[in-house]
Structure 1
Amino acid sequence: MTATATPSAPRSTLTVLRRSAWLASALFWSAFAVVEGMHHGPLAGGLALLFLVVPDLTFLVALGDTPRMAKGQLTPRAVPYYNAMHRALIPLALMAAYTALPIDWPPAFAALCGWIAHISYDRAFGYGLRTEEGFQRG
Structure 2
Amino acid sequence: MSRLEQGYVTGNLHWLLRLEGVTIFVFALMAYEFMGFQWGFFVLVFLVPDLSILAYFHSSRVGAIAYNTMHSYILPLMLFAYGFFVSSSTVNQIAIVWIAHIGFDRAFGFGLKYSRGFRYTHLARLGHSKENS
| Shared fold (TM-score, shorter chain, > 0.5) | yes
Deviations 1:82-119 (A, max 9, x none): 111011121112212322x2x12212111100101111
> Quick one: which of 87, 91, 111 aligns to 1:104?
87
TM-score, structure 2 as length reference = 0.68
State the Cα distance separating 1:49 from its structure 2 match: 3.4
Hey, which of these two has a bigger chunk of helix by percent? 1
CA distance in 2, matches of 1:113, 1:51: 11
Q: Pick one of 50, 53, 67 that aligns with 1:59.
A: 53
SS in 1 for 2:90: helix
Deviation at 1:47, TM superposition (A): 4.4
Q: How does 1:1-138 map to 2 (within 5 A)?
A: 11-36=10-35, 39-40=36-37, 42=38, 45-61=39-55, 63=57, 75-99=60-84, 101=85, 103-135=86-118, 136-138=120-122
Cα displacement string for residues 40-74 of structure 1 (whole angstroms, at most 9, x for unaligned residues): 5x4xx4543344211111122354x6xxxxxxxx8
Identity %: 29
Distance (Å, rounded) in 2 between the aligned partners of 1:48 and 1:107 = 12
Taking only aligned residues, the RMSD between alpha carbons, in angstroms, comes to 2.4
Post-superposition, which runs of at least 4 consecutive aligned residues in structure 1 deviate over 4 A? none
Higher strand share: 2
Aligned equivalents of 2:13 and 2:63: distance in 1? 30
Q: CA deviation at 1:35?
A: 3.8
User: When the two structures are superposed, what TM-score results if normalisation uses the length of structure 1?
Assistant: 0.66
User: Whose Rg is larger?
Assistant: 1
Gap regions ≥5 residues in structure 1? 1-10, 66-73
Determine the C-alpha separation between the residues in 1 that align with 2:46 and 2:23. Answer: 16
Distance of 1:59 and 1:51 partners within structure 2: 15
> Using a 3 Å threshold, how does the CA distance of structure 1 residues 133 and 30 change in structure 2: closer, same or farther?
same
